[in-house]
Amino acid sequence: MPDMRPSARSLHLVACSLVFAVFSLHLRTADCQTAPQTENGEIHGRISGLRDPERHVAHHGVSLLSHYATHSSAEAAILVTPREVQAPRLSENTTVYLESEELSRGKYPVPETPATLDQKRLEFHPQVLTIMAGTTVDFPNRDPLYHNVFSYSSTKEFDLGRYPMNDSRSVTFEKTGIVRVYCDIHSEMSAIILVLPHPFFAVPDDEGNFVMRDIPPGKYTLVIWHGREEAGRRTVVVRPGEKTEFNVAF
Amino acid sequence: MNRVLCSLPLIIFCTSISPAQLNWGGEMSVYLLKSARTTSPRAVNNGDATFGWRGDFLFDAAVSDQISGFCTIRVLENQYINFDALAVRITDIASLGLNLQVGKFDLPFGNLAERRFPRRNPLYSVPLIYDYSMSLPNYAPTQYDLLRNRGLGLGMRLLDRGMYDVGVEVFGTAGILSYAVAVSNGMISANSYNTLNTNGDFGKLIRLAVTPTTGLTLGTAFSWGAYLENSGQYAARTFDPAKYLQRIGEVDLEFSAGHAVIFGEAVYSTYRVPFTHDDADLSVTGYYGEAKYTLIPRLYVAVRVNGLIFSKVTDDLVSEPWDYNVTEVEGGLGFFLDRDVLLKLVRRETHTDGGSKPKDNLTVAQLVVAF
């Protein structure tokens, strides 16, 4: 009988170890689902053939209500000086992001560094800004005159008032959705902030190349947003530890 | 001359631009008005409630890097189609930062600017100095005409609405200073809106403005020229209408910070009239102060205080102001249903120092859609 005691103790130990091991494995699997580290994949993509969704209008000192803006010298200096006419760059007005219910349910750390939406030469830069919900966006004014950034979007309604050059205001976007941003003083200024529930998005360079990393394996919808609207959707499969090449031609 | 100048921009538009270079937009506005039942020029529809509408259409076109044209068309409920502005602008001439515009444009006087349009005007009316019709007409009145017409709104405005007129303007900036020099067909009080604009001399205008810091602009302008109509009715008379001048000066202010915007303007004008024996001029002083504050996103409150003070006509028999002094307060709320859809509720109270019914009021609900 005394011999039995160590054996029973050993059995208990083995049983407990098994339970612990199973529990640990379960936890590890759960971890992988929310913030996978080793099994993630990548998307290396290229977008081509996107056409500018908005007709680009040259500004030569007169533009609609700007006819009457010459009472401010700083304003006139910017409005009247002919601006170089060029199509908006892809890196300024395009973004790609993944869409799936699983990704939306996940928990991700919110970036501590604020995103930035500049106001420069009477334009927002970039014209499309993509952030994760909970991110704070800074709105610095780089022009020698007032801007008044505002949005009446249901995702986030705000009015920052007028503030001068090199001053900035901040807004934190908690809710996901589309935020259309304008300047109350300069009616031609507009930008879009896409607030996503996850960090799986990328901004292409001016040639259309983009890289999205640390993506949990799975089948997703890749959304291409260009200018003021969605340009297209594609299905993409990300495999564990693999680099997925994905070209989107329009 | 008017036709030639107005045709020039049209010719350039039609021959030089492609559709891709044309830009356009505008505003539509509908409103419901209810005023006090008076005979003053501030009353609307004899005091009965009435609807009204107006449309503004703005076009601009780039011909080249430095040459562009712009046009503003205003359509009113009375079916009138006004070509408010129609001009060609040449920018940065010889890389000197100097700009030139020729055609019909808003005269460089005061700081009304975009607030002439309902979307930018926080209230319903434009300031009294731009809107109130005085008793002085632009034809040579007798003293009796002038005094009899007090408070009836039969004459000129101090600043004729948007003050659009045909002419040429040179303007530019130098650091914090902006400047404009213009020559136009008519005078500030008698340009192309309610008058024939056939006076015998050009109107001359100079404007200077300084922006010492962002959000603060101080401006001043001066203008002079003949304002009496140059028609055949004077043939039998012994005077030359071109010698009867209007001289007008103003100072203006724009200040804004955070959610507050303030505008102000004070104007002093003199008119030489034929009937005074000692060449004494009639004079009028006008002013307004306007403030707008955004309470929360979408919602703002605005108020404007206006006034017009007239000099006295004095001879052996009378010593009376040549029109009734007017003070007016206008206040209201604006709510943006959308970025380009604005609903305004405005109340205006007017007090006139004379007349049978010196108090006027106006209540307005206005819906503005910009596109």
Comparing CB atoms, the residue among B91, B171, B174 nearest residue A60 is B91
Please state the separation of Cα A74 from the chain's center in Å. Answer: 33
The structural domains of chain A, with segments of one domain joined by +, span 43-52+89-249
What local confidence, expressed as pLDDT, does residue A74 receive?
52
Min Cα separation B175/chain A (Å): 8
What ipTM did this prediction achieve? Answer: 0.83
Confidence of residue A12 (pLDDT cuts 50, 70, 90): low
- Paired strand residues for B350: B328, B360
Please give the residue of chain B at the shortest CA–CA distance from A83: B65
What pLDDT, on a 0 to 100 scale, did the predictor assign at position B60?
Answer: 81
Pairing, β A41-48 against β A243-249: parallel
- What does the H/E/C string look like for B157-223? ECCCCCCEEEEEEEEEEECCEEEEEEEECCECCECCCCCCCCCCCCEEEEEEEEEEECCEEEEEEEE
**How close does chain A come to B161, measured CA to CA in Å?**
14
- B58–A65 CB contact, under 8 Å: yes
User: CA–CA separation, B248 vs B159, rounded Å?
Assistant: 10
Cβ neighbours of A180 in B, within 8 Å:
339
Chain B nearest C-alpha distance from A133 (Å): 21
Contact residues on chain B for A81, CB-CB shorter than 8 A: 91-92
How close A250 gets to chain B, by Cα (Å)?
A: 23
Average pLDDT, chain B: 86
Distances (CA, A) of B248 to A16, A130, B193, B221, B282: 98, 54, 18, 8, 12
Look up the CATH superfamily of A43-52+89-249: Cupredoxins -  blue copper proteins (2.60.40.420)
Cα A221 to the center of its chain, rounded Å: 16
What is the distance in angstroms between the Cα of B141 and the nearest Cα belonging to chain A?
Answer: 35
Q: Do A65 and B120 touch (CB under 8 A)?
A: yes
Of the ranges A189-193, B29-33, B144-148, B341-345, which one carries the lowest mean pLDDT score?
B144-148
A63: contact with B, CB 8 A cutoff = yes
CA atoms of B46 and B357, how far apart (whole Å): 13
**Are A71 and B209 within 8 A, CB to CB?**
yes
Q: Are strands A115-116 and A136-140 parallel, antiparallel or unpaired?
A: parallel
Task: Give the residue-averaged pLDDT of B99-117.
Answer: 89
pLDDT at B275: 76
Question: How many angstroms separate the CA atoms of B134 and B7, rounded?
Answer: 33
* Residue A184: closest CA among B92, B261, B71: B261
pLDDT for B179-204, tens place per residue? 999 999 888 887 655 555 566 788 99
Partnered with residue B300 across adjacent β-strands are B294, B334
- HSE-CB of A210 using CA atoms within 13 angstroms: 25
Of A65, A80, A161, the CB nearest to B99: A80
Residue contact B176–A73, C-beta within 8 A: yes
Give me the mean pLDDT over the A156-162 stretch: 97
pLDDT in tens, A115-156: 999 999 888 999 999 999 999 999 999 998 899 999 999 999
Q: Which helix (H) or strand (E) holds A129?
A: strand A128-132
The third-level CATH classification (topology) of the domain covering B2-370 is Porin (2.40.160)
Q: Is the pLDDT of residue A203 over 90?
A: yes
Q: Count of residues for chain A?
A: 250
CA dihedral B234→B240→B241→B247, nearest 10 degrees, is -160
| Cα A20 to Cα A7, B38, B185, distances in angstroms | 20, 92, 95
Q: Residue A182: list chain B partners with CB under 8 A.
A: 339
Give the CA distances from residue B334 to residues A150, A156, B142, B350, in Å, rounded to whole numbers and listed in that order.
16, 20, 44, 21
Q: Contact, B171 vs B179, CB < 8 A?
A: yes
Could you tell me if A115 lies within 8 Å of chain B, comparing CB atoms? no
pLDDT at A79 (0 to 100): 55
Tell me the pLDDT band of B52, cut-offs 50, 70 and 90. very high
Give me the total of CB pairs closer than 8 Å, taking one residue from chain A and one from chain B.
Answer: 131
CB contact under 8 A, A82 and B66: yes
pLDDT for residue A18: 54
Residue B123: closest CA among B265, B297, B369, B334: B334
Q: Is the dihedral of CA A237, A238, A242, A246 positive or negative?
A: positive
- Residue A14 clears pLDDT 70, i.e. is over it: no
CA distance A243 to A241: 7
Q: What is the mean pLDDT of residues A81-105?
A: 79
**Dihedral pair phi/psi, residue B102, rounded to 5°:** -130, 140
- Write down the domain spans for chain B: 2-370
CA atoms of B15 and B10, how far apart (whole Å): 9
Find, in chain B, the residue whose alpha carbon is nearest to that of A180.
Answer: B339
**pLDDT above 60 (res A197):** yes
What distance in Å separates residue A81's CA from the closest CA in chain B?
A: 7
Name the least confident of A43-52, B51-60, B125-134, B360-369.
Answer: A43-52
Lowest mean pLDDT among A186-190, A213-217, B3-7, B166-170: B3-7
Report the predicted TM-score, pTM, of the whole model to 2 decimal places.
0.84
Q: What is the pLDDT of residues B241-251, one digit of tens each?
A: 788 889 999 99
Of A128, A151, A129, A149, nearest to A139 by C-alpha is A149
- Give the dihedral of Cα atoms A82, A84, A87, A89; nearest 10 deg: -130
Cβ within 8 Å, pair B60-A64: yes
Closest partner residue to B89 (CB to CB) among A55, A62, A164 is: A62
